[in-house]
Structure 1
Amino acid sequence: MTETALPLPVDGSGRVERMRAGLKRRHARETRFRLYGLLAIGVAVGFLLLLLGRIVEQGHSAFYGHSVTVPVYLDPARIDPTYPQGTNFELLAAEQALTRLGVADDAAGAKSRAMRALFSSELKFIAADRVEAEPALIGRTVRIVAPLSDDADLYFKGEISRDTPEAQRRLSDEQIAWLDRMRADGQIESRFNSALFARGDSTEPELAGVLGAVVGSSLMLLVTAVIALPLGVAAALYLEEFAPRGRLTDLIEVNINNLAAVPSILYGLLGLAVFINWMHLPRASPLVGGLVLALMALPTIIIATRASLKAVPPSIRQAALAMGASKTQTVFHHTLPLAMPGVMTGAIISMAHALGETAPLLLIGMVSFVPGVSLGLTEAGGALPSLVYIWENASERAFHERTAAAILVLLAFMVVMNGAAVLLRRRFERRW
């Protein structure tokens, strides 16, 4: 229904007033719309900062650790120079540390075991390597610098409080007193945790690092890029520039759009069935992980590439054809170079999506514990998303701060990768 027009004065002043009122209402709606948009952006940025702040708050302590410097007398009676790795250097250092503190061990050796629990097992390997490299050290006192255990490290980071009842914490009052005395004597100091970036995974939190996962993710992304980018761009070129229009082409386009919305866990099931159970490729290897992520990235690359090709003005194609260029020359010399920024954008989105995926990797076995650093495509390896999953589900409390640190490393990895892709996109960008 339409409203009945009000009678207007002869001079038209009523019409002017209604126009002014309408403009005022329209400007008010536009102002409210802008405010709603700014509010939405503010809420999104607020939640993002809250998330990042919580991750940084929880994970920043993993970037530094505490080490202890202990003088150890290398007793010739307890060290076999032909096999120093068999010596319990941790117990040797613990007994001598108790002696320096003036604490007498009991008959059962409980106090020495309690002191040994404050040292990381890395002390044994550091001492053994030094003796193996220089057997003349046997019979002398050497200073060994080794990490503290995860519980002792958490105490100095404030995660374990002496105010908590002794039965509810993993350090006894006596162990805390020993730590305080050693710190007062200058034996304990805080330093940058280089092991976090120089080591692979470990069952002991103070020795665990992300290097193995970073290498595994890099190898997987390499496989993904080598397979998905050429296939995705080639498929998009054919569908957009060469394929005849018909039911088959329409069916392929619909299925590609549907594949982009398939849950990632289904790609993991596909990889498990095809690449592992049928093709018998190595389980939990970067090769299988890269193949699965390539399948997942293909629809995104194809869709983005096709959209970029459509955005190229038809006049570019017509001008090239008018100058005598063939269809293939027109596509590869003119259309594709102009569409390259959009192609790189699709590659950025697909690679970033692949980097953060966890569910497909869990199904192909990349949730298992892999110590050290694997450099082969067919060797069992890890990945940053699966490492985050493993550490978050670990029982040791010290792994939780390393989980947040691994998330920060993953975010930094994505920023570096996206930055490199943006630079490449600008490098290939052409304007018309």
Structure 2
Amino acid sequence: MKENISATIVAPKFEQEVVDEFLRDGYWVDWGGISAKGRNEIIGYGPTMGEIFLYSRDTWFGAPFVGGWRRKLLTNSLTMPVAMDLAPLDGTGRLNPIICYDLYGCTGTFRDPSGDGGKLAWLEPGPSPDVPWQHHLIGQIPALHRFRVGNFTTSGHMEIIGFPIVGLNGTHAVLPIVLFSSPSDGNSREKWPSKIINNGDFRFVHGVELIRGGNPTGSADALLICSDEGVRIFFYDINEEKWAWQTVGSGEGSQLERTGFKGSGDAAIGHLGSTGHDIVLSLEPFHGNTVCIYYATQGCSNLGSQWSRDILDVYGDPNELGEGPGHCVVAADFDNDGDDEFLVGLRGPEPWQGVYYYKIIDPVKGMYLKWKVSDASVARIKLIPREGAGVVDFATIGYSVKNYFEANNSQIVMHYFQKEGL
């Protein structure tokens, strides 16, 4: 484990605001941005009850209010909603939520995937504020658990790449990775054409993050994938005209015999302008307890970069299910110094709960600083750039999922970056 040092840097400061609390169901939080009236919107939900809520400071969907956040139920017609992304699909220019749902069978865990589940759909507002939003099916992959919207090939159309978490032939069977392409006639309300683009290189995928413009062979988007195999960059090789991947690292393997898990659970990629290094911070393995850093002597845009791995922290021991408290990682340049910082979200229980802020000083020398900036349970962190302010805020939702972990008080919390903190 590398040395944790002190430096002449003032601790980061975030002002916290509870948006909602004592949630019976908590897993995913995202930025709304769907009213075309600014950024004062958050979408939050959990998988058990399938209730997708919009929290807003605007009044576009109902009567005026005084202060605070107003909550509106968008829909409760999706069984077991999991991941979400946003894209403009209804022709108005606003963003529409895209959600994958219907994940597991009656036992409610990854050991029981629903053979006819794994649906992917987008939501469209009803004709009036009191009408539930309707959903339009994009497609289906059994056990679809993560996906991302982007431009991954040279097609020029909006694309979605979907990843199951488990296979129907076994929990750790190889997975079919599917590309959905928006219809050429622009009618996104119909099912989208789809095809399997990889069917033999990934098992037990948990974390999938977009690397915008990060394709090593061109200007298209790429994905950072966390799976049984560790951390990989997945992309379409324009020169070879085929899908390819580049290994960042194989992840954590020492816990396999005890827990049944290996590799990586979630990660984020950032850049240190001061050293020229691209760095990846990874939580390992699945629902893991180990925070690792990977650093490349060349940027991730250079195919074949060599990455080194060091362990920064270990948060507690795996529980009786073989799981640790770690669930998510994000990266952003919070203090505007040209270097990305990282937020690591821990779901709990205490003392391994909350958000840790990592500032990497020198990855080669193992120099970094960290602060705990939130105590609430975290299933998901959503970065929210503050419009016109050059500041990045973030939202969190507490982890409350039956058969896994249920926080004592699952909350949705806004964290506002305070410029005077640095």
- Same structural fold, with TM-score higher than 0.5 when normalized by the shorter chain: no
**TM-score with structure 1 length normalisation?**
0.20
Structure with a larger share of its residues in helix: 1
Structure ranking higher on relative contact order (CA contacts 8 Å, 6+ apart): 1
Greater strand proportion? 2
